[in-house]
Amino acid sequence: MDNESHDKFYYYLRLMRLRRYFVIMTLVFPLILIVILKIFGLNESHVAIVVPVIVFPVSLFLGLKLLANDTCPWCKAGFFINSAGSFGDGVSLVFRKRCSSCGEPKEYPSKNQK
C-alpha cells in the first residue's frame, strides 16, 4: 500500500472513531449514567434532569464535530451525508462504513500489506 492511500485510510479510521464516540455518547452513555445515578440513590425526578443536562451538550458537541469532519478522504464529498444533502434515513450516520458518494473503502487493507 502506498503512502497516499495509507493517509486516506488513516483519515477514514479517524472518522469511524469519531462516529463511534458519537454513537456511544448518545445511546450507551445515558444508560450507564442512569445506572450510576441509581446506585448513588438519586430518585427518578433527579435522574430525568441530570442525565439530559450532561448528555445533551456532549452529544451535540460530538455530533457537530462529526459533521465538521464529514469529508470523504477519497472523493472529498460528504462521507455520511450524500450529495443531495440529506441524511437519508438517518440510520446511515450510525451504520455507514462506506462513502455515500464514491463507495470507498472498497476493501480493507490487510496488516501484512505495507
The binding site for Zn ion (CB under 5 A) comprises: 72, 74-75, 99, 101-102
User: CB of residue 77 vs Zn ion: minimum separation in angstroms?
Assistant: 5
Q: State the Cα–Cα distance between residues 42 and 79, nearest whole angstrom.
A: 41
Please identify, using beta-carbon distances, which residue of 34 and 75 lies nearer to Zn ion: 75
Please identify, using beta-carbon distances, which residue of 20 and 76 lies nearer to Zn ion: 76
Q: State the Cα–Cα distance between residues 97 and 23, nearest whole angstrom.
A: 14
**Using CB atoms within 10 A of its CB, is residue 100 exposed (0-12), middle (13-18) or buried (19+)?**
buried
User: CB of residue 82 vs Zn ion: minimum separation in angstroms?
Assistant: 10
User: CB of residue 105 vs Zn ion: minimum separation in angstroms?
Assistant: 9
**Using CB atoms within 10 A of its CB, is residue 59 exposed (0-12), middle (13-18) or buried (19+)?**
buried
Please identify, using beta-carbon distances, which residue of 26 and 101 lies nearer to Zn ion: 101
User: CB of residue 98 vs Zn ion: minimum separation in angstroms?
Assistant: 8
Please identify, using beta-carbon distances, which residue of 51 and 72 lies nearer to Zn ion: 72
Residue 50 dihedral angles phi and psi, to the nearest 5°: -65, -45
